[in-house]
Amino acid sequence: MSEKPEGQGPVIDFEAAFEDDDDFRFADHAVEDYVTLVVFWALIFVVFLQFFTRYVMGDSTTWTEEIARYLLILVGFIGSVMAVRKGSHIMVEFFYHYMPPWLVRILNILVDLACVLFYSMMAWITYQLAGRTGGMMISVDVPKSVLYYAVCAAFVMMALRGVQRMVKHYFSEPGRP
């Protein structure tokens, strides 16, 4: 049996979790943060509208499912621009802890270069794909190429943010990622 009194769970200091929080400042966030926020709220609105019309009104609107799918795609790609800027994409950090600082710096630059090349190639591929896509969306009269151009723009932004990170790593002191 446990020695702690009945009905008393672990003591959690919730205030300690928020001690380092500063006031919100618009300058701490970039354009892609706000664009992602707007697209995300549009997605929430469309999904709520779909739920309301289907389960409350008994007759779903036809365009909400398709638009929700496209908005989710946009949130994913524009959110990836944020992840590139912050350096929060998934990576293996195990080996960085056992490398000398000069090697970590070189590896950071090489990884950033590979990422920028990948983003650039994907931007070119999606641009070509958008140019070849001539169909319209099923439920609304908007060309499907609009979505592909938006994804292309997200890849271009990822490449630009990747270049910024590469320059930052180049001019920073040798150290960990």
pLDDT in 10s for each residue of the chain, 177 residues? 455 555 555 556 666 666 666 677 777 788 999 999 999 999 999 999 999 999 988 888 889 999 999 999 999 999 999 999 988 888 777 777 888 888 888 888 899 999 999 999 999 999 999 999 888 988 889 999 999 999 999 999 999 999 999 898 888 766 555
| 54 within domain boundaries | yes
| 13 within domain boundaries | no
Q: What is the pLDDT of residue 118?
A: 97
For the question of whether the overall pTM of this predicted structure is more than 0.85, the answer is no
**Distance from C-alpha of 143 to C-alpha of 169, rounded to nearest angstrom:** 40
**Distance from C-alpha of 18 to C-alpha of 156, rounded to nearest angstrom:** 35
Domain residues for 40?
A: 23-171
| 6 within domain boundaries | no
Do residues 100 and 153 touch, judged by C-beta distance below 8 A?
Answer: no
Strand partners, 143: 136
Which among 111, 107, 110, 120 is positioned nearest to 158, based on CA atoms? Answer: 120
Q: What is the pLDDT of residue 145?
A: 94
Q: What is the pLDDT of residue 18?
A: 64
Torsion sign (Cα): 71, 72, 77, 79:
positive
Tokens of 76: 């994913």
**Distance from C-alpha of 86 to C-alpha of 28, rounded to nearest angstrom:** 11
Tokens of 64: 């909400």
| 93 within domain boundaries | yes
| 2 within domain boundaries | no
Which among 114, 109, 113, 95 is positioned nearest to 169, based on CA atoms? Answer: 109
Phi, psi at residue 140, to the nearest 5°?
A: -130, 155
* Domain count for the chain: 1
| 15 within domain boundaries | no
Which among 133, 36, 16 is positioned nearest to 80, based on CA atoms? Answer: 36
Q: What is the pLDDT of residue 26?
A: 74
| 11 within domain boundaries | no
Q: What is the pLDDT of residue 13?
A: 64
